[in-house]
């Protein structure tokens, strides 16, 4: 249980195009999902908190107009990198927080497998 998927697992795009990454909780509901970015040999940096049915909360320094987040259902959040540039190339990881109290600690976040974005 507690599986989070991401799609695509990797994507290559041209500079100036937009890319959408999906994050799904497969066997639980998640009112809150989180988006992280990770550069090689570095830690995970939280970009934003995605809340189902409301606007995302962005961390300081993260451009909300560039990284569009939509949390349309209890099992899906999407991150769209708009007008991508080579410096946006990174490993993007989402996590989902279990909304229920069905035997799992409600604070626990379950991570997706990540999406490798390469912008040419």
Partner 1 sequence: GESVGLHLPTLSVQEGDNSIINCAYSNSASDYFIWYKQESGKGPQFIIDIRSNMDKRQGQRVTVLLNKTVKHLSLQIAATQPGDSAVYFCAENKGNQGGKLIFGQGTELSVKP
Q: Interface with partner 1 by CB under 8 A: which range of 12-20, 63-71, 76-84, 110-118?
A: 110-118
Q: Give the pairing type, strands 10-13 and 115-119.
A: parallel
Q: Which is nearer to partner 1, 74 or 91 (CB)?
A: 91
8 vs 107: CA distance, rounded Å = 27
Closest separation between CB of residue 101 and partner 1, Å? 14
Site residues for partner 1, 29-88, by CB under 8 A, read 32, 34, 41-46, 49, 57, 59, 61
Q: Is residue 117 involved in binding partner 1 (CB under 8 A)?
A: no
């Amino acid at each position: 249980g507690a599986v989070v998927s991401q799609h695509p697992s990797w994507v290559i795009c041209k500079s100036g195009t937009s890319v959408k990454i999906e994050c799904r909780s497969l066997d639980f509901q998640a009112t809150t999902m989180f988006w992280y970015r990770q550069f090689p040999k570095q830690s995970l940096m939280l970009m934003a908190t995605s809340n189902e049915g409301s606007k995302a909360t962005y961390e300081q320094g993260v451009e909300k107009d560039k990284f569009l987040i939509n949390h349309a259902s209890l099992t899906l959040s999407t991150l769209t990198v708009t007008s991508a540039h080579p410096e946006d190339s990174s490993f993007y990881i989402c996590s989902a927080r279990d909304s229920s109290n069905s035997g799992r600690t409600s604070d626990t976040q379950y991570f997706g497998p990540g999406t490798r974005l390469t912008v040419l």
